[in-house]
Chains A and B, each alone.
Chain A
Amino acid sequence: MTDQVSFPDAVQWAVPFFIAAILAEFLWIAFKGKGGRYETRDAVTSLVMGAGNIASGLVLGFIAYGFFMWLWQITPLNLGTSIPVILLCFVLDDLRYYWVHRFGHRIRWVWASHVNHHSSQHYNLTTALRQTWTYTFTFMMVVRAPLILLGFHPAMVLFCGGLNLIYQFWIHTEAIGKMPRWFEAVMNTPSHHRAHHGRNARYLDCNYAGVFIIWDKLFGTFVPEQEDDRVDFGLVHNIGTFNPLRVAFHEWVGIWRDVTQPGLTLRERLAYCFAPPGYSHDGSRESSEQIKARHLARHPEDRGTPGFEQFETKAPNTQAKQA
């Protein structure tokens, strides 16, 4: 296969738009007196994380690209670069994003990279730029392998991934309430993504979509934002630092400290790396399922409502035991 295909780095070209949109959102909030909050150090941390993300892409991007080009060399398929193929690539790459994002919340090794994006207690356009510096080390580039083996050129796949990230920028806002009903039904929106950023028990592990919310509806992870359960942004255990280095690496350090504890079995050490966040060998921490169960013990009226459907059919004594 030849590699004489070139696509622009869409994210880099979008930087001026990002800056202009942040200014516009800030002015909107300032003049309207509603629609979100800005705080200097929080926003600066997010922006520095975004700059670091671009820098890490420049420094480490060759690893993923080299892997993709190797796959491109071995695949006998080439779908070309026509507009329908680009559109199909965009949709399939969004499905890829859904699963990588879901892994990012359910596998601690991947969460260690993704957690920084959720580490702000604010939700504004700067939060969208609070991106990982350590994505390469999650090895989630392998999830893109099927696309390239199917004949989508690596440059086109990366271009579609860039467009996906640019789409997700504008949904990080409280300034937009709900979009038209048809749009909310198909597309990821500010409302859907606000729920994803919630630390409320209801909103844990939901709405992993990038562009199309249909993936969450298809795979059973969709939770609509509830008017009577205002989203509380941030982490279950919010961090107490604005230092970008600590933001970027705190979960990796946490994994290291957990794994190197004396007296653990190999299985327990592996679980600290790859089990869902909240795993502990001694039961001293809570998974999202346990947090939801504990919430229902306090608020049984929420049983069976969005975000708590999995508890709908369980017998009361089982629920009590979980709580």
Chain B
Amino acid sequence: MPLEILLVLVIGGVVGITVMLHLSGRSRVRELTPQTARSEWLRHAPDDVIIDITIAHDKRSALIRTETGNGLLWSFGADTVARHLLDFDWIDHPEGFEIVFHDFGTPKALIRLDDFERPHWQNLMDPA
């Protein structure tokens, strides 16, 4: 196939499908509830015993306290990603906190917190 036709097909196809998906509402980010946060965490870490779950006001992040330590669950498009909080940096952000993982495939997560939530999460994540 001539390269120019291949390029038109590939670029046109990617752009067309992207626009179609976005306009049909497929860009919505998943919202977490206590029930879905629990089931999603156990999907990622089935052995964990959950103590409690704290969900951010924007419903896109949840701090999961388990018997073996804290974990962060966050919305990732229509799905979720979860990580135990073992090897990370915690950076203040105008909208809340940014958790930087030392992982090329999961570089960071932004936790949006209001002024009431921020000290509470800070205390939960770092009680010392």
Contacts and interface: CB of A to CB of B under 8 A. Distances in A.
Interface stretch (A18-26, A98-106, A190-198, A203-211): A18-26
A126 B104 CA distance: 23
User: Chain B at the A interface: mostly helix, strand, loop or mixed?
Assistant: mixed
Contact of A238 (B14, B17, B81, B107): B81
B104 A249 contact: yes
B9 A19 contact: yes
Contact of B26 (A12, A38, A242): A38
Interface stretch (B51-59, B71-79, B90-98): B71-79
Contact of B47 (A16, A234, A298): A298
B17 A43 contact: yes
B17 A121 contact: no
B5 to A, nearest CB: 9
A38 B104 contact: no
B66 interface: no
Given A15-B6, A40-B26, A294-B47, A47 B13 contact: yes
A41 B18 CA distance: 8
A229 B67 CA distance: 27
Interface centre among A15, A18, A242 (most CB of B within 10 A): A15
A38 B20 CA distance: 11
A15 B8 CA distance: 11
A241 B10 contact: no
B14 A240 contact: no
A240 B6 contact: no
Interface in B1-47: 1, 6, 9-10, 13-14, 16-18, 20-22, 24, 26-27, 43-44, 46-47
B125 interface: no
Contacts, number: 107
Contact of A40 (B6, B18, B82, B101): B18
Given A37-B78, A40-B22, A19 B104 contact: no
A15 B10 contact: yes
Interface in B99-117: 101, 103-107, 109
User: Chain A at the B interface: mostly helix, strand, loop or mixed?
Assistant: helix
A15 B74 CA distance: 35
Contacts of A15: 1, 6, 9-10, 13
Nearest to B78: A39
Nearest to B23: A40
Interface in A115-145: 119, 121-122, 126
A121 B78 CA distance: 9
Interface of A: 9, 12-13, 15-16, 18-19, 22-23, 26, 30, 37-44, 47-48, 51, 54, 119, 121-122, 126, 232, 234, 237-242, 246-247, 249-251, 253-254, 294-295, 298
Interface of B: 1, 6, 9-10, 13-14, 16-18, 20-22, 24, 26-27, 43-44, 46-47, 74, 76-79, 81-83, 101, 103-107, 109
Sorted nearest first, the 7 A-B pairs with minimum C-beta distance are A250-B105, A240-B106, A239-B105, A240-B81, A253-B104, A19-B13, A39-B78
